[in-house]
Chain A
Amino acid sequence: MTAIVDVDNLTKTYDGGLTALSGVSLRIEQGEIIALLGPNGAGKTTLISALCGITSPSSGRATVGGHDIVTGYRKARAMIGLVPQEVALEPFERVINTVNFSRGLFGRRRDDALTEKILRQLSLWDKRRARIRELSGGMKRRVLIAKALVHEPRVLFLDEPTAGVDVELRRDMWRVVEGLRADGVTIILTTHYIEEAEAIADRIAVIDKGRILLVEEKTALMTRLGRKTLRIDLREPVEAVPASLADYDLELAPDGRSLSYHYDTRGDGTGITRLLQALAAAGLGLRDIQTTQSSLEEIFVGMIREGAA
């Protein structure tokens, strides 16, 4: 496998002094679907904007299909399709014209058969003569996708593709994505929903505060994200975890009133039943129990700690 997108130490500092990307390096293989997962303001959109030519990187370099995004911008950009996060379309234009315009802008001759195929795939064919302002929000998003696909890109960026999108469009979109994947198109999508990354990506890159925290195969990451914590509040405080419970790797709160137990929801057994029995056998009275799932933020913090360790 060759890297179709190769980002090397890319940095972006805006004029105001905000550093949106600090030393991002990432290799994306041809034909894979990679999700950039991270909270709002993590630098996902800036990374995409830099690769597509919308913002100029401050330092570092990147190539798309082996073409440098600055010195070889024509060949690099010709390979890229971008579906932006914000819906930006000229309200008075007709669907078919704006789609054909996009193809022309990328230096390609008009191809009516291809345009029809894409519009049909996105259920836009019946609306092709409609003006953009007559369309619903979901329809406008479909137009954006059509515009990004009509010049036949080899690399497709989807920036928060499902934010505010109904189920039907989501389904249509994933169908299109599957078709593109079958054609060998590389897809990079940003999201802050773990479920979305889980549903379609091969690999997941976690990005926060302008840094890539990790890039992992989806399955490996999902195991880590599946961890939960069980907190047990005790009736009476204890000074230490009883020896009979040593196997469970429990954490005792400083005030001695609660115990925390970490477990994996995807494992064969969580061990909760045995733990509760062992607690009873040790003679500990329980006042309350609660489970918490690590939020994305907590996972990020955990990852930074792990990275530092």
Chain B
Amino acid sequence: MNGPAIWAIYKYEMFRFFRTLMESLASPVISTSLYFVVFGAAIGSRIEQVEGVSYGAFIVPGLIMLSVMTQSISNASFGIYFPKFIGTIFEMLSAPINFLEIVIGYVGAAATKSLIIGVVILITAFFFVELRIAHPFAMLLFLVLTCLSFSLFGFIIGIWAENFQQLQLIPLLVITPLVFLGGSFYSISMLPPTWQVVSLFNPIVYLMSGFRWSFFGAADVGVGWSLLAIAGFTALCLGVIWWIFKTGYRIKS
């Protein structure tokens, strides 16, 4: 393992984040605050409690997940796509490092950034609603695993993308709908029975349910299933990355 090289990539990527700290943090914080105002205060005041929790508090895990997932994907995909786009990737390829070390550097940095954003949103939430976290360690575990797996996924998108449009395609067409339909702002049990069954095919439902359980102790699906889903997703991403590593797909001719 070339530790100094991983550290160099990680540090370099984190510098980019801190260089634009205000932009990086302001947008998720502002959009989350808007969600609280619209969903929590305006609409939420007309909604009864969901699963014994006020609606404003109920949507907190969903809001954090929504931001963390999209931020992980965009950070990691942009992180590796940008050197490909401007040509500086040659330096990675000619350095005495292997692909795994490149992945650890980039994905580690992307996951750290979205973790910071997730925590900032959580802190913001405390200003708007009364919140109690039932299982703090499980909450942290779910949060970290989500940051990691979706950063891995973003890394794959960044390698795959050949232009900026493709970079936006998967997050817009796949992730955002799945997150919205994945019970971020409601409990699956509020859906008609048919749609409840359909929802079970949405992987995000499992992540959301587990994360919400760590806050309120109530879940749509079993916590075990949630952990299994996130482990499976991480394994799938690692598998794809291993294949990219073996074949040099879209990075090395």
Interface residues, chain A, with chain B CB atoms under 8 Å away: 14-15, 52-56, 73-78, 80, 82, 84, 86, 88-92, 97, 101-109, 147
Contacts and interface: CB of A to CB of B under 8 A. Distances in A.
A101 B95 CA distance: 11
Contacts of B19: 92
Nearest to B89: A88
Contacts of A76: 96
Contacts of A14: 253
B8 interface: yes
A48 to B, nearest CB: 10
Contacts, number: 76
B94 A54 contact: yes
Given A14-B253, A74-B2, A106 B90 contact: no
Contacts of B95: 77, 105-106
Given A86-B87, A88-B86, A107-B96, 7 more contacts: A77-B94, A77-B95, A89-B88, A90-B82, A104-B7, A105-B92, A108-B4
A105 B8 CA distance: 6
Main secondary structure of the interface of B (DSSP, over half): helix
Contacts of A147: 91
B15 interface: yes
B135 interface: no
Nearest to A54: B93
Interface of B: 2-5, 7-9, 11-12, 15, 19, 82-83, 86-88, 90-97, 248, 252-253
A105 B9 contact: yes
B252 A74 contact: no
Contact of B96 (A77, A84, A90): A77
Contacts of B88: 88-90
A102 B97 CA distance: 12
Given A53-B94, A86-B87, A109 B4 contact: yes
